[in-house]
C-alpha cells in the first residue's frame, strides 16, 4: 500500500497512529483539549494537578485510545547514577504510608498510571519479575493517577497481580521530582544505599535476560550497605 494521503483512502478516513511507546503527564491534558470541540478553545499553562477530568476520561477510554500493542523498547539511562532516592511519601488504598528515602534495600521503582497504555502493557512483566527476584530487589509500583484508590483498586482487582504493591502518588510529587512531568512509565533502580543506578524511560521487556542482567550487574557494582564513600589517600 502506498504511503501518505494518496493511499486510495477516502479523504475523511485516516489510518490509526501507531501505539505510543510512552505517555507524557505534561501532554495528557493538552492532547485531550485538542480532541475536544474547537469552540471550547485552548487552555494555556496546563497544571498537572488540574488534570482530574483528563485522567478520568483517559482511564475510561484507555482501551480505545491505544491502537495496537505498545513496544517494549524503553531506553536505559545511567546519566543520573548516584542521585539519592527522593524524600517522598506514598500511600496505599488502606492508608499505609511509605517514605522512600528511608528504604535500606535495593529498589526498582516504577511510576505508572491506569491511563498509560505502555504502563499497563509492562505491568504483568514487572509482576513476574517481582516474584522471581524477591529477596534481591524490591519492586515498587507507584501510581500517578490523580484519582488514587478510586481507579487503582479496581485496576488491580481486575488484573490480579500477585507481587505488585498498590502505592499511590496522587499529588504527583514524584512526577515533579523526576523533572516536572516525566514520560510514563519511568522505572528507576536504586541500590541498598538509596543511590540511583540507572533508569528506564518508556516500557521495557522485564521478562528478558537483558533486564535481569542489568539489575544484577548494576547492584553488584554498587557499594554494600554501610560502606563509607571512597576517600582519596592522604598525602605523605
DSSP string, 6-59: TSS--TT--PPPPPPS-EEHHHHHHHHHHHS-GGG----S--GGG-HHHHHHHH
The answer to whether residue 116 sits within a structural domain is: yes
d(CA 175, CA 112): 10
User: Given this model, what pLDDT does residue 223 score?
Assistant: 72
The answer to whether residue 121 sits within a structural domain is: yes
The answer to whether residue 236 sits within a structural domain is: no
Nearest one of 192, 199, 194 to 214, comparing CA atoms: 199
The answer to whether residue 1 sits within a structural domain is: no
Give the residue, 18 or 149, on which the prediction is more confident. Answer: 149
pLDDT band at 10 (very low <50, low <70, confident <90, very high): very low
What residues make up the domain containing 196?
73-220
Provide the pairing of β-strand 196-204 with 89-91: unpaired
The three-state secondary structure class of 141 is strand
Total number of domains constituting the chain: 1
Any idea what the CATH number is for the domain that residue 131 is in?
3.40.30.10
Q: Which residue has the cell 501505539?
A: 19
pLDDT band at 68 (very low <50, low <70, confident <90, very high): low
The answer to whether residue 127 sits within a structural domain is: yes
Mean pLDDT of the chain: 77
Query: CA 35, 37, 38 angle in degrees (round to 5)?
Result: 95
The answer to whether residue 202 sits within a structural domain is: yes
d(CA 16, CA 92): 37
The answer to whether residue 22 sits within a structural domain is: no
Q: CB–CB of 78/107 below 8 Å?
A: no
pTM value? Answer: 0.73
The answer to whether residue 78 sits within a structural domain is: yes
Mean pLDDT value across residues 191-209: 97
Amino acid at each position: 500500500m502506498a504511503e501518505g494521503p494518496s493511499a486510495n483512502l477516502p479523504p475523511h478516513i485516516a489510518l490509526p497512529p501507531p501505539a505510543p511507546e510512552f505517555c507524557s503527564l505534561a501532554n495528557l491534558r493538552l492532547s485531550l483539549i485538542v480532541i475536544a470541540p474547537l469552540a471550547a478553545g485552548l487552555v494555556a499553562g496546563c497544571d498537572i494537578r488540574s488534570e482530574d477530568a483528563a485522567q478520568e476520561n483517559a482511564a475510561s477510554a484507555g482501551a480505545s485510545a491505544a491502537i495496537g500493542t505498545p513496544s517494549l523498547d524503553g531506553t536505559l539511562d545511567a546519566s543520573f547514577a548516584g542521585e539519592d532516592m527522593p524524600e517522598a511519601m506514598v500511600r496505599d488504598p488502606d492508608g499505609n504510608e511509605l517514605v522512600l528515602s528511608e528504604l535500606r534495600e535495593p529498589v526498582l521503582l516504577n511510576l505508572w498510571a491506569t491511563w498509560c497504555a505502555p504502563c499497563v502493557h509492562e505491568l504483568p512483566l514487572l509482576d513476574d519479575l517481582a516474584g522471581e527476584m524477591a529477596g534481591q530487589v524490591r519492586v515498587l509500583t507507584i501510581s500517578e493517577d490523580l484519582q488514587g484508590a478510586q481507579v487503582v483498586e479496581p485496576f488491580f482487582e481486575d488484573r490480579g497481580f500477585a507481587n505488585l504493591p498498590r502505592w499511590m502518588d496522587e499529588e504527583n510529587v514524584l512526577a515533579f521530582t523526576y523533572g516536572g512531568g516525566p514520560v510514563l512509565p519511568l522505572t528507576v533502580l536504586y541500590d541498598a544505599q538509596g543511590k540511583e543506578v540507572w533508569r528506564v524511560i518508556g516500557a521495557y521487556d522485564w521478562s528478558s535476560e537483558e533486564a535481569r542482567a542489568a539489575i544484577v550487574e548494576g547492584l553488584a557494582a554498587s557499594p554494600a550497605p554501610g560502606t563509607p564513600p571512597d576517600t582519596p589517600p592522604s598525602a605523605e
